[in-house]
Amino acid sequence: MPEVTGGAAPADTAREDTSREDTSRAELPPDPHRLPPPQAWFARDAERHLLDRPKFCPMCGAGITADGISTEYWSGDSRHFMTWCGHCHWFGEVVRFDMVTITEVEH
């Protein structure tokens, strides 16, 4: 069960969902990165987004925190970051997963 950090809502213990590892708010970068209050229902998801989103372009290596955008969506256990680099204009997905799963065609 994930460690509850920062006084999460009681019901949070039932939301053992995600494939995300525990985190401490101490890991979080300092301002100006603001987050929902720690007791917010989905505060941990916002924390993980801030920590795990791509910081550099996979193509050219430029910083994309300010000059780019990553929108996160989920598919199964995977977390997809649809990413655009403002420097080289690369547009694609960075996928974070804990286990590689392959669906084989029947043979």
**Which residues bind to other proteins, rule: CB under 8 A?**
32-36, 40-42, 45-46, 49-50, 53, 67-69, 71-75, 80, 82, 84, 86, 89, 91
For residue 10 the two structure tokens come to 């009681």
Residue 9 or residue 40: which is nearer to other proteins going by CB? 40
Integer Cα distance of 20 and 48 in angstroms = 8
Q: Closer CB to other proteins, residue 4 or residue 15? A: 15
Q: Where are the alpha helices (DSSP H) in 4-105?
A: 43-52
In the bound state with other proteins, the residue whose beta carbon lies nearer, of 16 and 107, is 16
Give whichever of 56 and 80 is closer to other proteins, judged by the CB atom.
80
What's the min distance (Å) between Cβ of 14 and other proteins?
17
Tokens of 41: 């229902």
**Residue with token string 């939301």:** 15
Q: Choose among 81, 5, 78: nearest CA to 44.
A: 5
Pairing of the two strands 68-75 and 91-96: unpaired
Least distance between other proteins and beta carbon 33 (Å): 7
Q: How far is the CB of 21 from other proteins (least distance, A)?
A: 17
